[in-house]
Amino acid sequence: MADDYTAQDAVEDGTTGVEEQGVGGYAQGAVIGSSLSALGIAIASFILNLQSTIFEPIGAFTGSIADYIGGTIGAPVIITDAGAETSAESLATGTASLLGPFAFPVAVLVSVGGMSIFLWWITNTEINPLSVFSDEDE
């Protein structure tokens, strides 16, 4: 491969640099310039990665909140939909035919009962997010 940069090429470049700029000038350009260049690259990388460092946890938190809301509020809807489908299928054959056309009202009662129990628990429980971090009993 003709495009490879070999050790001989590095020695020739160093020799040419010392001949043109002297030892001090070449050292400034190669050593100090390279160090400043590496520092600049590190700072640029830090700035570019700062956005993902800040916004990734926020995105994960909002996604989790959406999943939580969908799980608590969406579950009764899923149960009611399943009850409606079972009610429609109950006119045919299978184990769903045991409830017959009452499968849908039973599914609605289960959904409403589950939400009622959940709301009763929320209203009768002292939920204080800060109590997790403190030792005091309120």
pLDDT score at 52? 81
Binning pLDDT at 50, 70 and 90, where does residue 43 land? very high
| CA 30 vs CA 13, 16, 43, 44: distances in Å | 11, 12, 20, 21
Maximum C-alpha span of the chain? 98
Q: How many domains does the chain have?
A: 1
Q: Give domain status of residue 88, yes or no.
A: yes
Q: Give domain status of residue 115, yes or no.
A: yes
pLDDT score at 137? 53
What percent of the chain has a predicted confidence (pLDDT) above 90? Answer: 2
List, in order, residues 6 or more apart from 75 with CB less than 8 Å away: 114
Q: Give domain status of residue 45, yes or no.
A: yes
**Average pLDDT for 54-72:** 85
H or E, element range at 112 = helix 103-124
**Average pLDDT for 101-110:** 76
pLDDT score at 42? 92
Q: Give domain status of residue 74, yes or no.
A: yes
CA distance 48 to 41: 11
Q: Give domain status of residue 138, yes or no.
A: no
Residue ranges making up the domain that contains 110: 28-123
Is residue 89's pLDDT more than 80?
A: no
Is residue 94's pLDDT more than 60?
A: yes
Q: Give domain status of residue 52, yes or no.
A: yes
Q: Give domain status of residue 3, yes or no.
A: no
Is residue 87 within 8 A of residue 107, CB to CB? The reply is yes
Q: Give domain status of residue 62, yes or no.
A: yes
Is residue 5's pLDDT more than 80?
A: no
